[in-house]
Amino acid sequence: MRVLITGGAGFVGSHVADVLAARGHEVRLLDVLLDKAHGGNLAPPWVAEHDFVRGDVRDEELVTKLVRDADVVCHQAAVVGHGLDPSDGPAYTAHNDYGTAVLLAAMFAAGRKRLVLASSMVVYGEGAYACDRHGPVRPGPRTPEDLERGRYEPSCPECGSPVEWRLVTEDARLDPRSTYAATKVAQEHLASAWARQTGGQVWALRYHNVYGPRMPRDTPYAGVASLFRSALSRGEAPTVLEDGLQCRDFVHVHDVALANALAVERAGERGALTPVNVCSGDPHTVGELAGQLARACAGPAPRVVGGARPGDVRHVVADPRRALTALGFRAEVSFVDGVSAFARDPLRDPVAG
């Protein structure tokens, strides 16, 4: 098939391009090469073997032209990461939400009906929890006072008792707690409305904590694995917030690219958006990630410093079952193998400016 990959020069998008091409698909990459993700205004070397177009997903004329030549659109283009503060809001919404709206309008004009959307686990906010007394519960946001006192675990909103995390499924209520998260929810809603209006088919792949080669480094927009790796490359101990026991699902970018390829190759439900967790199915704590990476880099042990960033959540651990039943996807890269390799993987150059 002919696949247009927006954000195709980026961390995830470039791996998606490689995997799709290896599986015999014809890929075309569109990327504006934002400084927040790229270390300059030149296309990275790994896109040289693909058909690459430098351009903005918000350019209606260009995007409409490219969409006409595609059977499937794989939409990776976005400003990503936790960000700095609300001043990031205009950039996030302009690129993520307006850009998605332009793309969907172009697909409608061209009569294209199949979209694979890069979504994120951040749409969930906190993950799933259960109280021994009240069963499944949804804890509220942690207060600054609790975080300052080192009270990191959420509590039952009914009785205040401790709660335990559970696997979060795709039917969980969406509860974005950052600007980036809000834009990813909006992307899903825009794509869902488009699907209902046009009979289109959308896979919304909710990536969990992705890591691997080509991650951007030395930028606040990078993922936690990249931040740890950058510190270790400077000979510094990785800095772990809270107590290091916050639990996540760290999934290798190879597996994320594979999930995208399977979604490209399998039609979704007509007139609907189908969300799918893309995860390893093998959760670990942030402290474990820092420790494993420090050992692999032969660097200093992690430094646990407490505190938390505004909007941070405690535990988000994915249920992988829908990915298996709907797409036939099962992660292939183990935590130890993936993190050990990440200690030597090439990263993207530092962000300009």
Mean pLDDT of 232-261: 97
Between 216 and 57, name the one with better pLDDT: 57
Mean pLDDT of 102-125: 97
Under the banding of pLDDT at 50, 70 and 90, the label for residue 83 is: low
On the question of pLDDT at 221 being above 70, the answer is no
On the question of pLDDT at 234 being above 80, the answer is yes
Under the banding of pLDDT at 50, 70 and 90, the label for residue 252 is: very high
Mean pLDDT rounded to a whole number for the chain: 94
One of 3.30.2270.10, 3.40.50.720, 3.90.1580.10, 2.60.40.2470 is the CATH number of 2-126+168-215+250-280+318-332, namely 3.40.50.720
**Angle in degrees, 0-180, between the axes of helices 286-296 and 335-342, rounded to the nearest 10:** 50
pTM strictly above 0.75: yes
So what's the pLDDT on residue 353? Answer: 43
Q: What is the pLDDT of residues 9-41, one digit of tens each?
A: 999 999 999 999 999 999 999 999 987 666 666
On the question of pLDDT at 220 being above 70, the answer is no
Are residues 204 and 188 in contact, defined by beta-carbon separation less than 8 angstroms?
yes
Mean pLDDT of 143-171: 94
On the question of pLDDT at 81 being above 90, the answer is no
For residue 29, give the nearest of 42, 44, 13 by alpha carbon.
13
Q: What is the pLDDT of residues 274-322, one digit of tens each?
A: 999 999 999 999 999 999 999 999 999 999 999 888 778 999 999 999 9
Q: Which amino acid is at 255?
A: D
On the question of pLDDT at 50 being above 70, the answer is yes
CA distance 336 to 189: 36
* Backbone angle region of 108, left / alpha / beta, with phi > 0 → left and psi within -120 to 50 → alpha: alpha
Beta strand spans in 114-172 (E)? 114-120, 128-131, 135-137, 164-166
Lowest mean pLDDT among 77-91, 149-163, 222-236, 302-316: 77-91
Provide the residue ranges of all domains of the chain, joining segments of one domain with +.
2-126+168-215+250-280+318-332
CA distance 129 to 82: 23
Q: Which amino acid is at 343?
A: A
So what's the pLDDT on residue 88? Answer: 86
Backbone angles phi, psi at 202, to 5 degrees: -130, 125
Q: How far is CA 197 from CA 65, 191, 206, in A?
A: 22, 10, 23
Are residues 106 and 70 in contact, defined by beta-carbon separation less than 8 angstroms?
no
Beta strand spans in the chain (E)? 2-6, 26-31, 51-54, 72-75, 114-120, 128-131, 135-137, 164-166, 201-207, 209-211, 239-241, 247-248, 250-252, 272-278, 284-285, 303-306
On the question of pLDDT at 352 being above 90, the answer is no
So what's the pLDDT on residue 350? Answer: 58
So what's the pLDDT on residue 140? Answer: 84
Residue entry with tokens 């959540």:
313
So what's the pLDDT on residue 351? Answer: 52
On the question of pLDDT at 268 being above 90, the answer is yes
Alpha-carbon 237 to chain mean position: 25
